[in-house]
Structure 1
Amino acid sequence: MVDVPAPPAVRIEPATPADHADIAELTVAVYVGGGLAGPDYGAELADVARRAELAELLVVRDGDGRLVGSVALVLDGEFGEVTESDDEAAVRMLVVDPAAQGQGIGALLMTECLRRARAAGKHRMVLSTSTVMTAAHRLYERLGFTRLPERDWSPVQGVDLLVYALDL
């Protein structure tokens, strides 16, 4: 695994209910507005309260306290979607504000998820990502993730998801 230093003047912390609206707005804007997901997925992306019930929701704030990234870490339960055993954790809905992209925030969130999964006794991190999310693919590969093509899947017709994994 690659150790990723925090970008200057940012902090990572658990999300609070006060963050939910900002997380929803950012996630829908990046995924749907950025053409990474269809509008039909927008309602699920915006349902941050449900996501917080099913996963550990983490955020990154910049030096001014502004939310610039978020991710859902799934340590158990069906929200992981691609987990196949209790030894696996998953991440979902990784998002970084476009104005903050390229500053290591996605890597910081992923590294924190890996640390937390290890601390929870998990042996593998898995995730699924759209075929069009090429920047995310590069991030995952830099962090040591490899493809698990045998676990690729389609949640709905016309949406093909690639599965990546990293042994912890």
Structure 2
Amino acid sequence: MYTIRNAKPEEFEELGQLMVEVYSQLEGFPKQSEQPEYYKLLAGIGELTKKPNTELIVAVSPEGKIAGGVVYFSDMQYYGSGGTATQEKNASGFRLLAVAPAFRKQGIGKLLTNECIRKAKELKQAQVIIHSTKAMQVAWKMYEELGFKRSEDLDFMQEELPVFGFRLRFK
């Protein structure tokens, strides 16, 4: 059974390395040399917790290994994406979901996603907003199975990379 909890500061560096490893291996996703600032964000993932209403959530294996992580925002103004998402009110969001290769196909991504949805519902938010790319088809399918719907009004370009918005409305 995996434990889902907020990351401890001493885990930030390991989680940042996991993020860089996962994103750099995505087929069709920009490489570190193409988007160095994005990879700097991934490597320094713990820095995002300095923003208000922002949590770094991890899944920890029974053996104490970090299996994956995600950044949850209970206030979209701190979400930090392109496009219009940061103007959304009464909404939570999450970004930068990653599962370590050794822990894939065990439902870790779904556990992390469900924790973000649970937090949003607890805060009585109207919706959860996320973004994905064509390189993240596995996650994309999972989000749709959980009820997220494509929201073209949230789409934006990250340099040369098209980024696609999704919403999960609660009412």
TM-score, L = length of structure 1: 0.89
Identical pairs, percent:
28
Indicate whether 1:114 and 2:111 are aligned. no
**Structure 1 position 80, deviation (Å):** 4.7
Please name the residue that 2:78 is paired with: 78
| Distance apart, 1:34 and its partner CA | 3.3
In structure 2, stretches of 5+ residues that fail to align are: none
| C-alpha RMSD of matched pairs (Å) | 1.4
Q: How many angstroms does 1:107 deviate by?
A: 0.3
The partner residue of 1:24 within 8, 11, 16 is: 16
Q: Does residue 1:10 correspond to 2:2, yes or no?
A: yes
For residues 61-96 of structure 1, give each alpha carbon's deviation from its aligned partner in whole angstroms, at most 9, with x where no partner exists.
111000001000011133253243221111000000
Query: Residue 83 and residue 123 in structure 1: after superposition, are their counterparts in 2 closer, same or farther (change >3 A)?
Result: farther
- Check whether the contact 1:80–1:91 (CA below 8 A) recurs between aligned residues: no
Residue 47 of structure 1 corresponds to which residue in structure 2? 44
Q: Deviations over 1:23-44 (max 9, x none)?
A: 1010000001334343122111
For residues 38 and 47 of structure 1, the distance between their equivalents in structure 2, rounded to whole angstroms, comes to 17
Matched residue SS, 1:126: strand
2:57 maps to 58
Distance 1:78 1:142, change over 3 A: same
Cα offset for 1:119? 0.9
Q: Which residue of 2 aligns with 1:88?
A: 91
User: Structure 1: how far apart are the matches of 2:26 and 2:156?
Assistant: 22
Deviations 1:93-131 (A, max 9, x none): 000011111111000000010000111121100111112
TM-score where L is the length of structure 2:
0.87
Structure 1 unaligned residues grouped into runs of 5+: 1-8
Which one-letter code corresponds to 1:108 in the other structure? Answer: L
The 2-side partners of 1:31 and 1:120 are apart by 30
Distance in 2, Cα, partners of 1:49 & 1:144: 29
Equivalent pairs, count: 159
Task: Report the 3-state secondary structure (helix = DSSP H, G, I; strand = E; otherwise coil) of the residue aligned with 2:97.
Answer: strand
